[in-house]
Amino acid sequence: MCWICDLYGDPEIEDGRWFLNPENHSRHMYKIKRPEQKAKAYGTDPEAESGKLVADIMAKRLEDPEEFKREVEEANAMKGDGPFQIGQVVPLQEAVKIAELSYPVASMHCICRYHCRGHQECNKDEYSCTGLGVGMLKWERWPERYKGGVHFMDPEEVKAWLTKWNKKGMVHTIMTFGGSFVGGLCNCDYPDCNIIRNRLDYGIETGCVKSHYVAKVDYDECNGCGVCVQRCQFGAIKFEVTQGKTNIDHMRCFGCGLCETGCPSKAIELKDRESMPGLKEMW
Partner 1 sequence: MNYSNYPDIQIDLSKCTIPFACKKCLEICPQAVFVTYGIKVERGRETDPNEPGSYGLAVAFQDKCTGCDDCIEVCPEDAITITFPEMEA
| Binding interface with partner 1 (CB under 8 A) | 41, 61-62, 65, 68, 114-120, 143-144, 147, 191-192, 197, 201
Residue with smaller CB distance to partner 1, 201 or 221: 201
What are the beta bridge partners of residue 106?
A: 131, 152
Prior bond to 65 cis, omega within 30? no
83-92: buried (b, 16+ CB within 10 Å) or exposed (e) per residue? ebbbbbbbbb
Cβ of residue 37: shortest distance to partner 1, in angstroms? 17
Identify which of residues 18 and 68 has a Cβ nearer to partner 1 in the complex. 68
Over the Cα atoms of the chain, what is R_g?
A: 19
Give the start-end residues of each E strand in 59-145: 87-90, 105-108, 129-132
The residue (of 130 and 198) whose beta carbon lies closer to partner 1 is 198
Cβ–Cβ < 8 Å for 211, 260: no
CB of 150 or CB of 248, closer to partner 1: 150
For partner 1, give the closer residue by CB, 147 or 216. Answer: 147
Question: Minimum CB separation from partner 1 for residue 213, in Å?
Answer: 28
> 151-167 burial by CB neighbour count: b if 16+ within 10 A, else e?
bbbeeeebbebbeebbe
Of 119 and 250, the one with the shorter C-beta distance to partner 1 is: 119
Alpha helices in 118-193 (DSSP H): 155-168
Residues 6 or more apart whose Cβ sits within 8 Å of residue 103:
133, 134
How many CB atoms are located within 10 Å of the residue 114 CB? 16
* Residues 254, 209: Cα–Cα separation, whole Å: 8
**Distance of closest approach, residue 186 Cβ to partner 1, in angstroms:** 17
* 204 CB-contact burial (10 Å; exposed 0-12 / middle 13-18 / buried 19+): buried
- Residue 118 CB, nearest distance to partner 1 (Å)? 3
Minimum Å gap between C-beta 257 and partner 1 is 24
**Cβ at position 267, least distance to partner 1 in Å:** 31
* Residue among 114 and 219 whose Cβ is closer to partner 1: 114
